Copies of this chain bind each other. A is one copy, B any other.
Amino acid sequence: MSLMGKPILYSYWRSSCSWRVRIALNLKEIPYDIKPISLIKGGGEQHSNIFRDVNPMEHVPALQIDGHTLIESLNIMHYLEETRPQRPLMPQDVHKRAKVREICEVIASGIQPLQNLTVLIYVGEEKKKEWAQHWIQRGLRAVEKLLTASAGKYCVGDEISLADCCLIPQVFSARRFHVDLRPFPIVLRIDRELENHPAFCAAHPSNQPDCPPEVTK
């Protein structure tokens, strides 16, 4: 396996954090190969000794690129931004950059960690739906409020940014947990705006090589 060849993304079809990175790679037109890591099979391949050497947090995604292995989706996206300036996903203006990071962090620290698979297993089957709904609703209320000040066509103004790479997968997770999205009209509008965008479509769970055939659209 050449570490200096095409980047390899350790990914799971339904992982929202893997999906963020897939969108960013697609938007920047960076060719990559996917190495699927099943979060389900045998209790989760992310907990195997082999994968723990890739990512000690036992999470996807991880990206092998430029001879290094990177973990944490926001880190990976910022690395791509710093090393592949084509099709920028961060604005130039420092205040707009802060707005993008705010939305990313609210989702990546304030919503997703509380409803990811590892946490929901620990919460238990009986309580997990209510638990996930509670934290997603709480977080999306804040995101909607931030968007009232920042959104244009997309999350921050009229250019697609890392904030959109985080928002769209989070909306998908919200639907999975049957969260009522009607209180979040700007979130819904941006989701509709991007649902047919080629980079977002190609990154969608249903278009992943490890998506089970019975789920594929």
User: 5 more A-B contacts (CB under 8 A) besides A71-B106, A109-B109?
Assistant: A56-B145, A57-B142, A68-B98, A75-B105, A78-B101
How far is the CB of A6 from the nearest CB of chain B, in Å? Answer: 19
Question: A103: shortest Cβ distance to chain B, in Å?
Answer: 9
Provide the residues of chain B in CB contact with A102, threshold 8 Å: 70-72, 75
- How far is B94's CA from A134's CA once the two chains are assembled, in angstroms? 38
Q: With the chains together, A216 CA to B175 CA distance in Å?
A: 47
What is the chain B residue whose CB lies nearest that of A119? Answer: B114
Nearest B-chain residue to A82, judged by Cβ: B94
Is A141 within 8 A of B83, CB to CB?
no
Cβ–Cβ contact A139 & B82, under 8 A: no
Q: Which residues of B contact A68 (CB under 8 A)?
A: 95, 98
Partner of A56, one of B57, B79, B109, B142: B142
* Chain A contacts with B in 58-81, Cβ cutoff 8 A: 58-59, 66, 68, 70-72, 74-75, 78-79
Measured in the bound complex, the distance between the Cα atoms of B176 and A5 in whole Å is 46
Nearest 7 A/B pairs, CB to CB: A56-B145, A72-B105, A75-B101, A56-B142, A57-B142, A113-B113, A109-B109
A146 within 8 A of B: yes
Whether, in the assembled complex, A108 has its beta carbon less than 8 Å from a beta carbon of chain B, the answer is yes
Give the residues from 95 to 135 in chain A that come closer than 8 angstroms, CB to CB, to chain B: 95, 97-98, 101-102, 104-106, 108-110, 112-114, 119, 122, 134
Least CB distance from A156 to B in Å reads: 12
| Nearest-CB residue, chain B, relative to A59 | B110
Most buried by B among A59, A72, A94, A98: A98
Interface centre among A55, A97, A108, A113 (most CB of B within 10 A): A113
Residues of B within 8 A of A71 (CB): 102, 106
Chain B, Cβ-Cβ closest to A67: B95
Instruction: Say which residue of B74, B83, B95, B141 sits within 8 Å of A101 (CB atoms).
Output: B74
- A134-174 contacts to B, CB under 8 A, are 134, 139, 141-142, 145-146
Residues of B within 8 A of A105 (CB): 72, 74-75, 108
